[in-house]
Amino acid sequence: MSIDSAIVLAAGEGIRLRPLTQNRPKPMLPAATKPILEHVFDQLVDAGVSELVVVVGYRRERVQSYFGSTYRNVPISYVVQEKQLGTGHALLAAESEVTGTCLAINGDQIVDSRIIGDVVRAHDSSAAATVAYLHRPNVQSYGGVLVEDGLVTDIVENPQDGRDYRLNAGVYALEPAAFDGVRAADSRNGEHLLVDGLSTLVETGEIVRGVASEGLWTDATYPWDLLEVSAELFEAGFVNGDPEIGGREATVHDDAVVRGPVVIDRDCAIGPGAVVGPGVCLGENVTVGANAVVERSVVDADTTIGANATVVECVTGTGVAIGPGSTIPGGPGDVRVGDTVYEDEALGALLADRVLDRGGIDYVPGALVGPETDIQTGTTVRGTLAGGTEVRS
Amino acid sequence: MCGIIGYAGGQADRNVVEVLSSGLSKLEYRGYDSAGIAVAPEVSVYKRKGELEALEETLPDGTVDALAGIGHTRWSTHGPPSDENAHPHTDCEGRVAVVHNGIVENYRELREELEAAGHVFDSETDTEVIPHLIETALEQGADEDAAFRQAIERLEGSYAVAAVFHGREEVYATRDQSPLVLGIDDGCALLASDVPAFLEYTDQVVYLEDGQFATIRPSGIEVRDERGALVDVSVETVDWDPEDAGKSGYDHYMLKEIYEQPRSIRECLRGRLRPLEGSIAIEELDGLARPTDVQFVACGTSYHASLYAARLFRERGVRATAFLASEYDVERLPLDDRTLVVGVTQSGETADTLRALRTASGVGAQTLAVTNVVGSSAAREADHAMYIRAGPEIGVAATKTFTSQQVALATLSSALTDDCSRQFVEALRELPDGIQSVLDTSNARAVAEEYVGADAYFFIGRGYEAPVALEGALKMKEITYEHAEGFAAGELKHGPLALVSEATPVIALVNGRKNTDRMLGNVTEVEARGAPIVAVTDDPDAVAGHADHVLRVPETHWRFYPILANVQLQLLAYWVANRLGRSIDRPRNLAKSVTVE
């Protein structure tokens, strides 16, 4: 069958992506140079969806002002989930915007249109819902499904019980009955989850179909995962990393070196002697100063990298200033988030929106700097710095 | 961006022209620089440059004897709006009329081919090749349906197309990569670029797919695929509030447009900055001689942008003055051929500004129009035109267009005086993020809550901030209907201070890098009268101890501080008006562009 409407869940902040989510929800974080959500929309439109219903909540104006009323000529309607009480609650907020069969998809994970197409093809109205699953290791960090003879027998978040779970791709075809299942499910710890609704359907004897699929599926759990997500997009050809193409609407000095895969968005300026790439994504209006070196980094819009700076395995928010001569030497480094230490992560530094590095600063690999932190010249940054502070050596 | 409407079913109790006009009015958010309709079976075309009202004036009184029709509203980004370029377009004989949304990429070849075959074109548009291609196919013996298909097969690019034919009561349509949706009702059928266009008639819709062809007639719709096979379509019911479409989930266009500012600034600056050289070049002004004097003529918000710009020019050693356009032509003006008269008008149709430009041109001055609308009267009549590229603005109170005017005029002041620096260019490039930062962190809503119901609102600023104080007050007046005044801060003690009381909050623009102490002196004057102080500042430390509330903006080049501060004032006015339940997008007694003197 064909399914015209898709409900896209884009209301949640993505708490584990802090401090990058201070000013925008996770779906608006950059994957290469575009928001994750834009990749999601692309795959939905490629799969034939002709109506997008987007559930927004946390910092929703960022989503609305970026996409407006249509995307690639597909109309977008916005539904506001005032409080983020879980994916099931978000889905129900959008129920009145769709009629008949619809798709539901997470707005913060990039899923190949082939996976969406597989769900659409496998679904018919004899099933209350159809779920795509993938054969992947490490399912315990994501959602898991157990499938027997094409039917889902169990569906859970973060499965820990050692059974043979497949990865839940987060792409669902839903009949109106599925909404009833979600409504009937109990909430847990104040969260009303979509998968609990599907479990309820399974428990009450409704058919929930599972369809095996394959294709790109990528999700950033932690901020530094944005590097890996962008690398996967290059590899899968979702983003063209040809240096001849990157930078066409940017100003690149003749004496700069641009090495692919690389993507350079509009209005960027790259100074003489700078070396950009490989594995670099420069968002709109980024400046790379003379003789700066940037490798394997996701640099978001309006960021400036000063002359002679070295930036390796770095993730930035928007409007960050990396001063002249600062050094982000690349991972591996230990990253501390709350009470947990993630060892040997491939992260040079993570600088949230509008960090102001005044130059000559050394970053110990794995450094996390909160938004609008003002770092005085000559400082060595290690560990985690809270946002909005002033830091001296 | 353009909008299309189509209707078949004139024998029902609805007048074809009325349905089309109403549909076009709902599509106006998609652009509004020209509009037109065509009806059948006696094909007649009515079209006009300008807003829908201009078209409505050209429509015949009483009912038009028609059974079907098509309509179009246009927002040109390339090529000027004119009566000729407005859709619908017809073939040589006027037997087929076509509206189109999208771009025909191969239109030059097609046009050359058609012209060689003797077809005569009336417009400069890519669209006009379509009716002539249809005419060719009809001449070769094809029926209407086949002729329409054969014409479409020749097109490369993106399109939504609708056509009516002489002697036929239906509308033919197709799409590829441009939106088109069909609507079904008893005894009639409709089509449009977007559902709101016909939502008042029906909520039963069919979304046409790329490559499909539709014929709409009073008895219903027929959809066929590329090979001509009948398609079984699914009819969906939409439950939209027609008012909401186009607002992208915002309650008002004004708020949407405030949040669009980082993007509209990027558009305004694109291609004009040379960041590596630290220079500014405005392509469309290559032939403009460097003036010795600059006179700005403008009204309302555009006048405030002009005051800001005049100061930038003066600082660079050019004599520059801003005039209210309505006051301009009554004076005997000292100007010569080295004087540049700059008309600043969002719509390019402001009657007072147009008259001032004509007056200046008549006495030998060079003229320049700074406008948002490509091919508007101002752009065509002035010797030169510079576009601010803010995109369509629907809210009557100007927001993003004011900001884009300020930014465009800042680049102009630099380009026309060859006075630029790397710092200036870098500061311009920082503006989109600076505005985004204000939008991300503004507490204007909470501050608005505090002061709803005040007796009056006073806005004060010095230097570059003075025009923005005027603009902040204008915004507050326009959409809240409350009393608000803006003053150069130094003027307070020469009169207005008598108005200040505990019930009149004073919104002070305190630039932390320029005139800070003098400005704080003025703040102290009003503090002494017990007025609550709202400081808009990039330096919260400086106002500590003075301000009851702070609206913070990020640090920037001191000349651009007022551009950022203004965003806070927009939000403040919006949230006060919202709290008062005002008609924010369409304030009483006001129109978007004032085309009467």
B77 pLDDT above the threshold of 80: no
Picking from B246, B259, B263, the nearest residue to A69 by CB comes out as B246
CATH T-level assignment (fold) for domain B2-237:
Glutamine Phosphoribosylpyrophosphate, subunit 1, domain 1 (3.60.20)
Res B443: pLDDT: 95
Which residues does chain A have within 8 Å of residue B237's beta carbon, measured at their own beta carbons? 99
| Cα separation values, B423 from A189, B86, B209, B245, B569, Å | 53, 44, 50, 42, 26
Highest mean pLDDT among A38-42, A97-101, B76-80, B244-248: A38-42
List, for chain A, all residue ranges whose pLDDT scores fall below the cut of 70: 1, 246-247
Q: Does B429 touch chain A (CB under 8 A)?
A: yes
**Distance (Å) from the C-alpha of residue A292 to the closest C-alpha of chain B?**
14
A189 and A262: one domain?
A: no
Residues of A in CB contact (< 8 Å) with B are 4, 22-23, 50-51, 56, 60-61, 64-65, 67-70, 72-73, 75-78, 80, 96-97, 99-100, 251, 253, 266-267, 269, 271-272, 284-285, 287, 301-302, 304, 318-319, 353-354
Question: pLDDT (tens digit, 9 = 90+) per residue, B228-241?
Answer: 899 888 887 776 55
For domain B442-597, the CATH superfamily is Glucose-6-phosphate isomerase like protein; domain 1 (3.40.50.10490)
- Interchain CB distance below 8 Å, B440 and A65: no
A49 and A179: one domain?
A: yes
**φ/ψ (deg, to 5) at A106:** -75, 135
**Encoding tokens for residue B379?**
């752009």
**What is the interface pTM, i.e. ipTM, of the complex?**
0.89
Q: Does B263 touch chain A (CB under 8 A)?
A: yes
Residue A128 and residue A179: Cα distance in Å, rounded?
A: 9
Picking from A76, A97, A318, the nearest residue to B433 by CB comes out as A318
Residue A54: give the domain boundaries.
Answer: 5-219
pLDDT: is B3 or B299 the higher one? B299
pLDDT average, residue stretch B352-358: 91
B593 pLDDT above the threshold of 70: no
A266 and A205: one domain?
A: no
Question: pLDDT (tens digit, 9 = 90+) per residue, B487-519?
Answer: 999 998 898 888 899 999 999 999 999 999 899
Domain boundary among A158, A185, A219: A219
Chain A residue nearest residue B270, CA to CA: A267
Range list of H helices, B270-299: none
Domain boundary among A219, A253, A278: A219
**Which CATH number does the domain housing residue A367 bear?**
2.160.10.10
Res B307: pLDDT: 97
Res A138: pLDDT: 81
A17 and A148: one domain?
A: yes
pLDDT above 70 as % of chain B: 93
Highest mean pLDDT among A299-303, B75-79, B290-294: A299-303
Q: Give me the residue spans of the domains in chain B.
A: 2-237, 247-439, 442-597
Place B591 in a pLDDT band, splitting at 50, 70 and 90: low
Res B340: pLDDT: 95
A172 and A302: one domain?
A: no
Place B205 in a pLDDT band, splitting at 50, 70 and 90: confident
Q: What SS3 string covers chain A?
A: CCCCEEEEEECCCCHHHCCCCCCCCHHHCEECCEEHHHHHHHHHHHCCCCEEEEEECCCHHHHHHHHCCEECCEEEEEEECCCCCCHHHHHHHCHHHCCCCEEEEECCEEECHHHHHHHHHHCCCCCCEEEEEECCCCHHHCEEEEEECCEEEEEEECCCCCCCCEEEEEEEEECHHHHHHHHHCCCECCECCHHHHHHHHHHCCCCEEEEECCCCEEECCCCCHHHHHHHHHHHCCCCCCCCCCCCCCCEECCCCEECCCEEECCCCEECCCCEECCCEEECCCCEECCCCEEECEEECCCCEECCCCEEECEEECCCCEECCCCEECCCCEEEEECCEEEEEECCCEEECCCCEECCCCEECCCEEECCCCEECCCCEECCEECCCCEECC
- Interchain CB distance below 8 Å, B249 and A319: no
Q: Chains A and B: how many Cβ contacts under 8 Å?
A: 91
How many domains are contained in chain A? 2
A251 and A351: one domain?
A: yes
pLDDT average, residue stretch B337-348: 91
A128 and A273: one domain?
A: no
Res B13: pLDDT: 58
Structural domain includes residue A233? no
- Interchain CB distance below 8 Å, B236 and A56: no
A94 and A23: one domain?
A: yes
Which residues does chain B have within 8 Å of residue A291's beta carbon, measured at their own beta carbons? none
Res B341: pLDDT: 95
Which residues does chain B have within 8 Å of residue A80's beta carbon, measured at their own beta carbons? 249
Chain B residue nearest residue A269, CA to CA: B275
Place B379 in a pLDDT band, splitting at 50, 70 and 90: confident
Picking from A56, A96, A272, the nearest residue to B249 by CB comes out as A56
Average pLDDT of chain A, as a whole number: 91
B61 pLDDT above the threshold of 70: no
User: Catalytic positions of B, please?
Assistant: 2, 592
Q: Does B419 touch chain A (CB under 8 A)?
A: no
pLDDT above 90 as % of chain B: 57
Place B332 in a pLDDT band, splitting at 50, 70 and 90: confident
Chain B residue nearest residue A320, CA to CA: B433
pLDDT average, residue stretch B79-102: 88
Q: Does B241 touch chain A (CB under 8 A)?
A: no
pLDDT average, residue stretch B322-350: 85
Res A117: pLDDT: 93
Res B157: pLDDT: 83
- Interchain CB distance below 8 Å, B248 and A76: yes
Which residues does chain A have within 8 Å of residue B27's beta carbon, measured at their own beta carbons? none
Chain B residue nearest residue A67, CA to CA: B248
Contacts of B244 (CB under 8 A, 6+ apart): none
- Interchain CB distance below 8 Å, B260 and A56: no
Structural domain includes residue A114? yes
**Distance (Å) from the C-alpha of residue A379 to the closest C-alpha of chain B?**
22
Res B245: pLDDT: 58
B438 pLDDT above the threshold of 80: yes
Least confident stretch, A135-144, A283-292, B104-113, B296-305: A135-144
Res B412: pLDDT: 95
**Encoding tokens for residue A33?**
């140079």
- Interchain CB distance below 8 Å, A77 and B240: yes
A281 and A375: one domain?
A: yes
Structural domain includes residue A231? no
A364 and A272: one domain?
A: yes
A63 and A141: one domain?
A: yes
For domain B247-439, the CATH superfamily is Glucose-6-phosphate isomerase like protein; domain 1 (3.40.50.10490)
Res A247: pLDDT: 66
Res B34: pLDDT: 84
Picking from B249, B276, B554, the nearest residue to A78 by CB comes out as B249
Res B244: pLDDT: 54
B158 pLDDT above the threshold of 70: yes
Average pLDDT of chain B, as a whole number: 88
Structural domain includes residue A235? no
Res B449: pLDDT: 94
B563 pLDDT above the threshold of 60: yes
- Interchain CB distance below 8 Å, B270 and A266: yes
